[in-house]
Every structure is written in structure tokens, then in C-alpha cells.
Amino acid sequence: MNQLIISAATEGEAKSNPLVPNVWEMGVVLVGFAVLMYIVVKFVVPMFEKTFAERAEAIEGGIAKAEAAQAEASAALEEYKQQLSDARAEANRIREEARAEGAQILADLKAKAAAESARITEQAHAAIESERQAAVVSLRSEVGTLATTLAGRIVGEALTDDQRAARVVDRFLADLETQSAGAAK
């Protein structure tokens, strides 16, 4: 019986060799592969190409937008720097104008103060002079009265004559003025 099994196994092996492909199966597989290849080339590859092109355009557009945004940002930065420079120059100009105006105001105030001081000093001198004149007049009348009274006592007679009394007082005061002028030198 062993022999029978071995001979049956050798006959089956001769009919189908697993290393040699069947022609019919190869034809079906080649037609299926050709159909699949046609579908892939006709429909799938163009969709991939279209998607690839859209992505490439999107990336290039994004790069262009980024470059444009960067250029715009650079221009805005330059404009900002220019405005900042202009603002600093304006601030310096305003500061200098304020200093000049402050100096002018200070000079005006000093001039007004000096004029007011001179006016007050002049008024004080005028008041002092008028008070001195009033004191001189008052003293003349008092000294005149005292001098006539004293002269009347010394002479022993009353000096009731106004003209005579005025002459005596004037002479007395003139003598006093010459004595004070001589002492001042």
C-alpha cells in the first residue's frame, strides 16, 4: 500500500507544479493590473496632481503673503521710527520754545519788578521830601515862636511886631544853617 500512495503522489505532482504559474491566471492578473493601472493613471493621479498643485500654490501664496506682510511691517517700522524722530524733534523744539518763553517772562517780570521798585523808591523819596519840608516849616514856626519868646525875654521887651519877629527868626535860622553847613564840611 505504501507504494500506491507514493505513486499517486508522484502523479499529482506531475500535473500541477507549484513553481510554474498557470497561463490563464497570469492573463487574468495582467488584465486586472492593466485596468487598475488605467484607473489610477486616468483618475487618481490627476487628483493627486491637482491637490499637489493647489498645495504648492497655497504654500507659494503663503510665502508671498508672508514676504508682503514682512515688507509692510518693515515699512510700518520705518514710518514709526520716522514719526518717533519727528516727535522727538518737535518735543525738543517745544522745550526750547518754552525755555525761551520762560526766559522772556522772567526778564519781563524782572523789568516790571525793577520799574515797580524804582517807582516805589521815587514815591518814598517824594514822601520823605514832603515830610521833610513839612517838618522844616513846622520847625520854623516853632523855632520862630520860641526865638521871639526867648529874644523878648533876653531883650526885656516883647516882640509883638510880626515883621520884626520874622526878621529875627530868619536871621536865627540862617545862622543855624551856616553853622550846620560848616560842621558838615
Quote the percentage of the chain above a pLDDT of 70.
84
Q: Which three cell numbers stand for residue 64?
A: 508671498
Residue-wise pLDDT tens digits, 138-147:
877 777 777 7
Produce one character per residue of 113-122: b if its CB has 16 or more CB atoms within 10 Å, e if not: eeeeeeeeee
Q: Which three cell numbers stand for residue 119?
A: 517807582
| pTM of the predicted protein model | 0.38
Distance, in Å, from the CA atom of 147 to the CA atom of 169, rounded to the nearest integer, reads: 6
Residue-wise pLDDT tens digits, 11-40:
555 567 778 888 899 999 999 999 999 999
8 Å CB contact between 165 and 144: yes
Domain range annotation of the chain: 21-184
